[in-house]
Structure 1
Amino acid sequence: MTGTPVPAAPPGAATAYRWRWLALAAILGAEVMDLLDATVVGVAAPSIRADLGGDGATIQWIAAGYTLAFAVGLITGGRLGDLYGRRRMFLVGLAGFVAASALCGFAASPEMLITSRVLQGLFGALLIPQGFGIMKSMFPPAELPKAFGAYGPVMGLAAVAGPVVAGVLIAWNPADAGWRTVFLLNVPLGLAAFALAAAILPESRAAGSPRPDPMGFVLVSLGLTLLIFPLVEGRELGWPGWTFAMMVAAVPVLALFAVHQVRRSRAGRAPLVEPGLFRIRAYTGGLVLGLVLFGSLTGLVFALGLHLQLSLGFTPLEAGLTQAPWALGIAIGATVAGAWLAQKLGRACIQLGAAIAVAGILGTAAALVAAGPAVSGWALAPALLVTGVGIGLAMTPFFDITLAGVELDMVGSASGVLNADQQLGATAGTAVLGTVFFGLLEAGQVTASVTVVLGLTAVLMLVVVGLARLLPPKPRPDLVHAG
């Protein structure tokens, strides 16, 4: 793609690739850029609306267009890497994401911005799943826990840091670009990540020459659209009957997809999703846990950010900076877990982190109740810091335990499903907790609108403590290098 030789693929996961840590930095850099764009619109939306116009539904679709396209494309995007090369699909996805970001930054109308956001989501769905497979081809078993351990904190930091970045950029307003800087920042960052990735990422793909699965693509795309579209639209529209009808219709479509995948696998043709994945206890347990973990985190970030601006009158910059202790806490928790705690405790590190997060969430609720409308960012900082530490501890071992037993030939499919699972959880969490928040806010219960959401999030994090028992105590070393 760049005219330079493609770095040779490592002969197997048991062999260390020379530039593996630098390659990991390139992968994580692209991940951060992609994931930030999923969370920045909440802060940037008022400025976008003031500039481009549009009603509430239009603004909602600036965020929802990305979410829907990203979630629907993840499973197919992951499998394309297995079929045609993970490095190749990573670079295609990154290049497309940068181009779509530029289109967002220069959008002249809401319609152009929404279309560009859909393109961002589709290219992001091609980009994100490739990282896991490339990592398993580069790192020996002894180093995989640390490599995988970087993923959870990065995703948590991106979820929390998005509003901070958006608030700072809009307040800074370089070149009088306003909200456009949120998207245009991706261009230089993405080009730098592309140059690094093109130079050092090794190529890897599934063994043999599996053929694409167009019927599987159609079925899974239709099924996920039927499921996720009403979750995105339902809260804004007041949950009309057709939203529930769509979610019910998703069940037989996804069931038909599952039957098609089993038949294709038995016939010796590569399916989009390997049925064998769901016989791996760590993987299936991780899918269930991920739904709840990412749903509660994303819903909480969404509700708290709105409360700070809509109820307390914080500016975008103030709202973003108020959530900075969260990001600092995640960094601290991830550092401690990544250094030694995650490998020592395994799933118990997830349980410990979730329990600490519960304490921080309840502390945040107590601070909001005690200070009322006069609450300041400083009053919330200690509890948000504790919450972040817990989240960092919980997320760090999540990917290692979930993906350790997945063979390299299936890792693209596995990572696509895992990312789609997280996106589904995040969408559902935002829909459910957002509905609770707006319902209470519109009823005039300003403080209760956020404290009830905090309480529900604390309950969900306690559920995470219990669900962690579905995971093995620690990754099985004999499966880490499978494939």
Structure 2
Amino acid sequence: MSVTGVASDETPTHAQAPYRWRWAALFVILAAEVMDLLDAVVTNIAGPSMRADLGGGASTLQWLAAAYTLSMAVGLVTGGRLGDIHGRRRMFLVGAAGFTLGSLLCAVSASPGMLIAARVVQGLFGAVMLPQGLGMIKEMFPPKESQKAFGMFGPVMGLSAVGGPILAGWLVDADYFGTGWRMIFLINLPLGAAAFLGALRYLPRGRSGSRPDLDIPGMLLVSLAALLLIFPLVQGREYGWPMWTFVMMAASLAVFAAFAAHESRRSRAGLDPLVVPSLFRKRGFSGGMALGLVFFSTMQGFMLVFNLYTQIGLGYSPLKAGMVMVPWSGGMIVGFGLAQGVARFGRAVLQAGALVMALGVFGVWLTLDRVGGGVGPWQLLPALLVTGIGMGLLMAPFFDIVLAGVEQHETGSASGTMTAMQQLGGAFGVAMLGTVFFGLLGGGIATAVDHHADDLRHRLAAVRVAPAAQDRVVADLRACASDRAVAKDPAATPASCARLEKDARSAAASPEAGARVPAALAATTSSAFRSGFGTVMKTVLWIVDGMLALTFLLAFLLPRHARPQESAGH
């Protein structure tokens, strides 16, 4: 996030008396952070309920998360710059009002397209709101207090990480006033109103002494490049990977290159670039960007896929799925705490975090392999706790270590660029791992039906279904279960399922058999669904561990230690 900003007459400098309402202002800023943190995770829990209500395919579940993080990513650097130009308080107010309006639009959405568009509105206004807070903290607090102020972000992030999934699951399950999943967005209305009114009363007025130019061509180029990459990744599988999806992804690389060239030209001309090009000539910063892209892709992608697995594959309720994530979130807080105690080891702490997280993910794989489709929350707890501890160890020193090789005048641009990369990585991970998960799901469930075929034949033979009819029913069930898993519209009945119903009726030799054949099919389908989802989830876990191994190796590009004390606030 952009943390640049020069104090004005109304925002006292550190040499003067500290800003009077600084602690009240800090709580306003933290309220905005809570709204963002909650909205980044709630659709992972509520996504299946949203899809069941509004319709849409598997890509809808990916877009609910990716639309928010992608729009946040492309807006963040510009959002910080808008604060420099028009004043941080004014831009915070604009962002808080727009974010609250976006939440209302989400709550009243009547179609998947409208909900995804409203998520984009949330992300864009969030990108205007969030960078202003960190910039104002650096302006309002004297050096002795600023570390304490920045230190409050850790507990708030931790509580949001623990409380977010539980709150989302509880609100969806409770169905207050018949609102269902819509309440997870309606709850933002009082929060947003409180943040807006608090900002009006307590945030300092003022504007940066120097007014940088807004790099609109740069903003458009980086937005286009990100969209050209994420859109085909999310939609490609649903359209059968036509040639245009690969052309778009190749074009995204060309547009990213054009963006880099534009920023270099702008910098040489003495104009203000969105991203300072000299940053990428530093190995530590470039390596940190690559590491961050891989890690945040891994983290967000895994969280989405795991929540889909628990709710759709295991049949957990939204609240139960939210509770399953508590050990992960609690472990993250423990990891953050441990990282503070061993901070002197610098880069080694980050690498240890990657290894511990990989060990936890392998523990999840081992649990699924041993227990199978009947796995419960308590059995997943140890592995998820270890995964969370590793994530906390990895994340805690990341920003400070990457910023260690950055010059002081580049820190603002570097912080904004890194935070934008964090969001872009999240969108990329949701798109990539979500696409892998749904791409494997049809085949995984069809294979699971094959494994349960002998048991189904025995059940059918027991009610005197002829062998030829048994083969027909098994083949129909295989096709139906696979088609159901990857259906674009979950409410529609695939043709293969209609054929299964017809063949099952004709296979029954008596009224008694007619009553027992559907029960046999239902039992086999349930078992196949659970084991098929589990097989695909285990494959995704190997990919996640591979990405964490890459994270560990990329860490060797980073400086060994963070800069002492200078970047404490980042």
Smaller-chain TM-score range? Answer: 0.7 to 0.9
The match for 1:125 among 118, 124, 127 is 127
Whole-angstrom distance in 2 between the partners of 1:54 and 1:465: 37
Taking a change above 3 Å as real, the CA distance of residues 58 and 386 of structure 1, as seen in their structure-2 partners, is closer
* Equivalent position SS for 1:128: helix
Q: Give the alignment's TM-score, normalised by structure 2.
A: 0.74
Taking a change above 3 Å as real, the CA distance of residues 330 and 26 of structure 1, as seen in their structure-2 partners, is farther
* Residues 148-157 or 348-357, more deviating: 148-157
1:454 and 2:541 correspond: yes
Deviations 1:275-326 (A, max 9, x none): 2333455433321221111111111111211111222121212111111111
Taking a change above 3 Å as real, the CA distance of residues 157 and 255 of structure 1, as seen in their structure-2 partners, is farther
The match for 2:279 among 277, 280, 290 is 277
Deviations 1:160-195 (A, max 9, x none): 754433211111222221111110111112222334
User: What's the offset of the Cα at 1:14?
Assistant: 12
Whole-angstrom distance in 1 between the partners of 2:161 and 2:568: 30
Residues 405 and 559 of structure 2 are in contact (CA less than 8 Å); yes or no, is this contact kept in structure 1?
no
Match of 2:555 in 1: 468
Match of 2:386 in 1: 386
Q: Residues 104-143 of structure 1 correspond to what in structure 2 (within 5 A)?
A: 104-138=106-140
User: What's the offset of the Cα at 1:131?
Assistant: 3.9
Whole-angstrom distance in 2 between the partners of 1:246 and 1:372: 39
Aligned length in residues: 475
Deviations 1:313-365 (A, max 9, x none): 21212111111111111122223334x333x2222221222222122111111
Larger Cα-atom Rg: 2
Residues 97 and 124 of structure 1 are in contact (CA less than 8 Å); yes or no, is this contact kept in structure 2?
yes
Match of 2:564 in 1: 477
The match for 2:259 among 257, 266, 270 is 257
Q: Residues 77-88 of structure 1 correspond to what in structure 2 (within 5 A)?
A: 77-88=79-90
Match of 2:299 in 1: 297
Match of 1:3 in 2: none
Taking a change above 3 Å as real, the CA distance of residues 272 and 118 of structure 1, as seen in their structure-2 partners, is same
Residues 149 and 400 of structure 1 are in contact (CA less than 8 Å); yes or no, is this contact kept in structure 2?
no
Whole-angstrom distance in 1 between the partners of 2:438 and 2:43: 18
Deviations 1:92-135 (A, max 9, x none): 21221011112221234444333322211211222233344334
Taking a change above 3 Å as real, the CA distance of residues 51 and 359 of structure 1, as seen in their structure-2 partners, is closer
Whole-angstrom distance in 1 between the partners of 2:437 and 2:113: 28
Whole-angstrom distance in 2 between the partners of 1:351 and 1:10: 41
Match of 2:342 in 1: 341
Q: Residues 36-75 of structure 1 correspond to what in structure 2 (within 5 A)?
A: 36-54=38-56, 56=58, 60-75=62-77
User: What's the offset of the Cα at 1:470?
Assistant: 2.1
Residues 71 and 124 of structure 2 are in contact (CA less than 8 Å); yes or no, is this contact kept in structure 1?
yes
Residues 234 and 435 of structure 2 are in contact (CA less than 8 Å); yes or no, is this contact kept in structure 1?
no
User: What's the offset of the Cα at 1:151?
Assistant: 5.7
Q: Give the alignment's TM-score, normalised by structure 1.
A: 0.87
Whole-angstrom distance in 1 between the partners of 2:393 and 2:151: 10
* Residues 362-371 or 327-336, more deviating: 327-336
Taking a change above 3 Å as real, the CA distance of residues 402 and 12 of structure 1, as seen in their structure-2 partners, is farther
* Equivalent position SS for 1:39: helix
The match for 1:164 among 163, 166, 169 is 166
User: What's the offset of the Cα at 1:150?
Assistant: 6.3
Whole-angstrom distance in 2 between the partners of 1:130 and 1:239: 41
* Residues 142-151 or 389-398, more deviating: 142-151
* Equivalent position SS for 2:342: helix
Deviations 1:77-100 (A, max 9, x none): 232223333333223212210111
Residues 23 and 200 of structure 1 are in contact (CA less than 8 Å); yes or no, is this contact kept in structure 2?
yes
* Counterpart AA for 1:425: G
Whole-angstrom distance in 1 between the partners of 2:386 and 2:568: 35
Match of 2:211 in 1: 209
Residues 330 and 389 of structure 1 are in contact (CA less than 8 Å); yes or no, is this contact kept in structure 2?
yes
Match of 1:247 in 2: 249
Residues 406 and 479 of structure 1 are in contact (CA less than 8 Å); yes or no, is this contact kept in structure 2?
no
* Residues 115-124 or 368-377, more deviating: 115-124
Residues 71 and 125 of structure 1 are in contact (CA less than 8 Å); yes or no, is this contact kept in structure 2?
yes
* Counterpart AA for 1:465: F
Gaps of 5+ in 2: 1-7, 445-531
* Counterpart AA for 2:192: G
User: What's the offset of the Cα at 1:46?
Assistant: 3.3
* Equivalent position SS for 2:180: coil
Q: What is the CA RMSD across the aligned residues, in angstroms?
A: 3.2
Whole-angstrom distance in 2 between the partners of 1:97 and 1:390: 32
The match for 1:314 among 297, 316, 319 is 316
* Residues 51-60 or 167-176, more deviating: 51-60
Whole-angstrom distance in 1 between the partners of 2:349 and 2:51: 43
Taking a change above 3 Å as real, the CA distance of residues 123 and 459 of structure 1, as seen in their structure-2 partners, is same
Taking a change above 3 Å as real, the CA distance of residues 123 and 271 of structure 1, as seen in their structure-2 partners, is same
Gaps of 5+ in 1: 1-5
Match of 1:191 in 2: 193
Residues 81 and 212 of structure 2 are in contact (CA less than 8 Å); yes or no, is this contact kept in structure 1?
no
1:375 and 2:462 correspond: no
1:222 and 2:309 correspond: no
Match of 1:430 in 2: 430
* Counterpart AA for 2:559: P
Taking a change above 3 Å as real, the CA distance of residues 411 and 237 of structure 1, as seen in their structure-2 partners, is farther
* Equivalent position SS for 1:333: helix
* Counterpart AA for 1:288: A
Match of 2:507 in 1: none
Whole-angstrom distance in 2 between the partners of 1:277 and 1:77: 20
Residues 277 and 406 of structure 1 are in contact (CA less than 8 Å); yes or no, is this contact kept in structure 2?
yes
Match of 1:350 in 2: 350
Whole-angstrom distance in 1 between the partners of 2:306 and 2:209: 46
Match of 2:442 in 1: 442
